[in-house]
A = this chain, B = another copy of it.
Amino acid sequence: MSGVGGAAVGAAGVGDGNGGGRSIRLLVADDEHLIRGALVALLNLEPDIEVVATAENGLVAVEQAIETRPDVCLLDLEMPEADGIEAATRILQAVPTRVVIVTRHARPGVLRRALATKVSGFVPKSTPAEELAHVIRDVAAGRRYVDPEIAATALTAERCPLTDRELDALRHSRSTMSVQQIAERLHLAPGTVRNYLSSAMTKLDAASRHEAAEKAWEQGWI
């Protein structure tokens, strides 16, 4: 991988035959200031990419996208206020642009949801840095890019067998909440919640609702 920085720059130089072509205008959104800054530094090294906006959460990302109308939006999945998928949905219905989602935990279900919102690119943070610029160029050119690893997992992984209410109950089981509290939150009888949870546990082959919630989360279902 010797080419980490160098190769990327070099390749960009080569591909820079867009003689006088205008560069790709990019928005970068990530809640961690350090990472955001580092990504900006990395991508600004590319001669054909220009970071025109940054955002530290999903809502700001939407505002910035509307204001600056970038060619491509690079959105972290895990953000406060509005996560990457939510932000992507709003951005795509407001301005003509393309979206690349970056994520730490690449879960198959999340990929499915992302693609459903017409996202153009999906890459995990384990992607080599030099790859990212390629992906952005591909996406800017109208192509799509999905990490092959995740795509394969998503194709083999079976679709979610849980009903909506089971998912509701599981969602609340990720935090430390009693059945009572979940029932109140969902405006249901405690017994009903227990039934949903029990059924979900059976479907997911889990010994406790916490384990079931964990498994569902790993699959990206909640």
Residues of A within 8 A of B (CB): 1-11, 14, 32-42, 44-45, 102, 104, 123-130, 132, 176, 178, 206-208, 210-211, 214
Contact = CB atoms under 8 A, between A and B. Distances in A.
Nearest to A173: B210
13 contacts: A1-B3, A4-B7, A4-B11, A6-B7, A9-B11, A33-B125, A34-B102, A34-B123, A37-B130, A38-B129, A41-B42, A41-B45, A176-B206
A125 B5 contact: no
Contact of A2 (B3, B32, B44, B211): B3
**Number of copies of this protein chain within its complex:** 2
A182 B130 CA distance: 44
A101 B204 CA distance: 38
What's the dominant secondary structure at chain A's contact region? Answer: helix
A213 to B, nearest CB: 9
Given A37-B129, A40-B129, 17 more contacts: A1-B7, A2-B3, A4-B7, A5-B41, A6-B10, A9-B11, A32-B104, A33-B127, A34-B39, A34-B128, A34-B132, A35-B38, A41-B41, A41-B45, A176-B206, A176-B207, A176-B211
Select the residue from A34, A35, A208, A211 with max chain B CB neighbours within 10 A.
Answer: A34
Given A7-B4, A7-B6, A8-B5, A37 B33 contact: no
Contacts of A210: 176, 210
A220 to B, nearest CB: 18
A178 B209 CA distance: 12
A5 B9 CA distance: 9
Select the residue from A1, A6, A10, A14 with max chain B CB neighbours within 10 A.
Answer: A6
A10 B45 CA distance: 14
Contact of A129 (B9, B33, B214): B33
Contacts of A10: 2-3, 5-6
Contacts of A176: 206-208, 210-211, 214
A121 to B, nearest CB: 13
